Every structure is written in structure tokens, then in C-alpha cells.
């Protein structure tokens, strides 16, 4: 695997491969790679001739009081994980390389999808995400990009961006990878104390409770949310940012679950904000994001 740190280097490396007709798979990350990232890299390896992984902590998607400075970084670890999973290139640019004139020059206006869920408590976050991903797509020019369902709202926004702005690529969303007890893998899990780590499983347990309630016939979104809140409240250190049941394409709240719905939550465990989600049909069957997108957005592909 080759480590490259400049836009010129990665473009120079990929150009002859692209001319020979190689199919390029791309996995954008913020580094501190874990098994969730590795699963995306392995998927890209199976489905493409060339695999590029980006490793960049993007300052424009962090708010002024968020954790940009202390976000975990370990390039040596990332090189090991990416290479073992099958990456051909690890693109690890500096902030100056990605924003040569400083952050704040040009941005992608995301639109109404950014005003829901995480966008309410993290204003500007998805503008920063969409902007840096646009830069990365233009630099790498992949055929397919891979994202995880844990960041469902991000994946939804980026799929819409690719569709609306006519990017010549496809976005594939793979299921959330979890610890044995159900906690979604996240780089921010490293912030948790041992006690908080045990308590953090309530996010997943609340989604399980929602699925069981649906299977038992409950359809009222308010009652379903209350059951999720009760589960989250079992953790002494928990503080709810949001628990929502929404339309999975518009992110608008639902009063009843009469069609596939996104159950999403953001919860502080101690000082660490964690997110999780699940897609359920009215019977309580869990759906994958790609299954839902391919069923309802087939005309976009």
C-alpha cells in the first residue's frame, strides 16, 4: 500500500490506472481506523480494481466547541489497518493541503436534509461534510464510494448530493459494525471510561426495544420514542440529544410507523456524544440502508 499526502501525488498515481480502465473504489474516513472502516475497505477490495482510503480529520465539520483538537489520530495504526484490509493507497493530506487558502472560502449548501437530527445540534456540520467529500470526490474520481449506516444522515445527504449534482459515481452504504454487546463501532468510543463503555450499550438496546415493540403491534411513534427513552434512561451518565422516528428519505417526523422508518438517536454518555440508528419496516423487520435506497430510489441509479 502506498501512503500519499498531496493532491498532486494521488492524482498522478491514479491517472494511468484510470486510463487503463481500472475501477476505483473509495473509502473516505477521518482516520483512527477500526473494524467498521476495515469492513468498508474489504468491500471495496472485493468490488474494484483499485482501492483508495482517505485519512483526514476535516476541521470544517466541527463546531467551535467540539472535539477537533482532541479527535483521535494515529497514522501508523491507520496504515496497518488499511493495508491489512486491502487498500492500495492511503491518502492522508494535511489541513493546508485540503484548504490551501484557509477554511471558509467555498462550501456546498446542503439544503433541508441538514436541518434535521444531528444538523439541529451541530449547525454547519453537514455543510462541512459535503464540502470536504466534494473535494475528495473531485481529487480521487472514484467509481464507487463506501459509507457506513451508523452515519445514516451523512450517507443520505451525500447520496442526494451525488444525484442532484450529477457526480459520475455510486454511493454504497454498508451495515453498521458493532461490538459483541451491540455498541456501534466509533472512533469516539475511545473517549469512554470503563463504566461509560458499559452504559453506552443502551443506545443499541433502545433500538432493539423499538423493533420488539413494532413486532408486537405498536405503531404510535410517540409511544415508541418513550420506550426508547426509558431504555436510554437506565444509564446514569446518559443525556439525550435526540430520539426521533422519521421518514428515511426526508427525515421528517412520523406520527405512526405505517411504512419503513428510521429510528435514530444521539445520546451523551458522560461527555461523549454517540449516535446510532436502525431502519425498521412496520413489522419490526430491520432493513439495510442500501436495501431501502435501492427499493425507493431505483430511478436515481
Look up the CATH architecture of domain 2-174: 3-Layer(aba) Sandwich (3.40)
Q: Cell numbers for 141, please give them.
A: 474520481
Query: Residues 144-167: pLDDT tens digits?
Result: 999 999 999 999 999 999 999 999
* pLDDT of the residue at 297: 59
Catalytic machinery residues: 37
Query: Residues 54-95: pLDDT tens digits?
Result: 999 999 999 988 999 999 999 999 999 999 999 999 999 999
- Per domain, the residue ranges of the chain are 2-174, 192-293
CA distance 48 to 272: 36
Query: Residues 180-215: pLDDT tens digits?
Result: 999 999 999 999 999 999 999 999 999 999 999 999
Least confident of 169-178, 251-260, 291-300: 291-300
H runs (alpha helix) in the chain: 7-19, 35-47, 75-85, 95-98, 118-121, 125-140, 152-164, 194-199, 202-215, 221-232, 289-296
* pLDDT of the residue at 300: 46
Rg (CA), the chain: 19
* pLDDT of the residue at 298: 55
Per-position DSSP letters for 103-168, written without gaps between them: SSS------GGGGSTHHHHSTTHHHHHHHHHHHHHHHH--SEEEEEGGGHHHHHHHHHHHHHTT-S
* pLDDT of the residue at 214: 98
* pLDDT of the residue at 101: 85
Residue 301 has pLDDT above 50, yes or no: no
- Report the candidate in 159, 168, 111 with the shortest Cα–Cα distance to residue 138: 168
| CA end-to-end distance (rounded Å), the chain | 31
CA distance 205 to 214: 14
Place of cell 466547541: 65
User: If you average pLDDT over residues 276-299, what whole number do you get?
Assistant: 86
* pLDDT of the residue at 28: 98
- Report the candidate in 57, 66, 121 with the shortest Cα–Cα distance to residue 93: 57
Look up the CATH architecture of domain 192-293: 2-Layer Sandwich (3.30)
CA distance 97 to 90: 15
Please tell me which residue, 301 or 268, carries the higher pLDDT value. Answer: 268
* pLDDT of the residue at 291: 83
Q: What is the mean pLDDT of the chain?
A: 95
Query: Residues 4-49: pLDDT tens digits?
Result: 999 999 999 999 999 999 999 999 999 999 999 999 999 999 999 9
Amino acid at each position: 500500500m502506498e501512503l500519499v499526502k498531496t493532491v498532486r501525488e494521488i492524482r498522478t498515481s491514479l491517472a494511468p490506472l484510470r486510463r487503463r480502465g481500472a475501477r476505483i473504489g473509495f473509502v473516505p474516513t477521518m482516520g483512527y481506523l477500526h473494524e467498521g472502516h476495515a469492513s468498508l475497505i474489504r468491500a471495496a477490495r472485493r468490488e474494484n480494481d483499485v482501492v483508495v482510503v482517505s485519512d483526514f480529520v476535516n476541521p470544517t465539520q466541527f463546531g467551535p466547541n467540539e472535539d477537533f483538537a482532541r479527535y483521535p489520530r494515529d497514522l501508523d495504526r491507520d496504515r496497518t489497518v488499511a493495508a491489512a484490509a486491502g487498500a492500495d493507497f492511503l491518502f492522508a493530506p494535511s489541513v493546508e493541503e485540503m484548504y490551501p487558502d484557509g477554511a471558509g472560502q467555498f462550501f456546498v449548501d446542503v439544503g433541508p436534509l441538514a436541518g434535521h437530527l444531528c444538523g439541529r445540534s451541530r449547525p454547519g456540520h453537514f455543510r462541512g461534510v459535503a464540502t470536504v467529500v466534494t473535494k475528495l470526490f473531485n481529487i480521487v474520481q472514484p467509481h464507487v464510494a463506501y459509507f457506513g449506516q451508523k452515519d445514516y444522515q451523512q450517507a443520505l445527504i451525500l447520496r442526494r448530493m451525488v444525484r442532484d449534482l450529477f457526480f459520475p459515481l455510486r454511493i454504497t452504504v454498508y451495515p453498521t459494525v458493532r461490538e459483541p454487546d451491540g455498541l456501534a463501532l466509533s472512533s469516539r468510543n475511545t473517549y469512554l471510561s470503563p463504566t461509560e463503555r458499559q452504559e453506552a450499550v443502551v443506545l443499541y438496546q433502545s433500538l432493539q426495544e423499538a423493533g420488539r415493540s413494532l413486532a408486537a403491534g405498536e405503531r404510535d411513534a410517540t409511544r415508541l420514542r418513550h420506550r426508547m427513552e426509558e431504555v436510554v434512561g437506565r444509564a446514569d451518565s446518559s443525556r439525550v440529544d435526540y430520539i426521533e422516528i422519521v421518514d428515511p428519505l426526508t427525515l421528517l417526523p412520523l406520527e405512526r410507523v405505517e411504512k419503513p422508518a428510521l429510528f435514530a438517536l444521539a445520546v451523551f454518555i458522560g461527555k461523549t456524544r454517540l449516535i446510532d440508528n436502525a431502519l425498521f419496516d412496520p413489522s419490526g423487520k430491520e432493513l439495510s440502508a442500501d436495501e431501502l435506497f435501492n427499493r425507493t430510489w431505483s430511478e436515481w441509479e
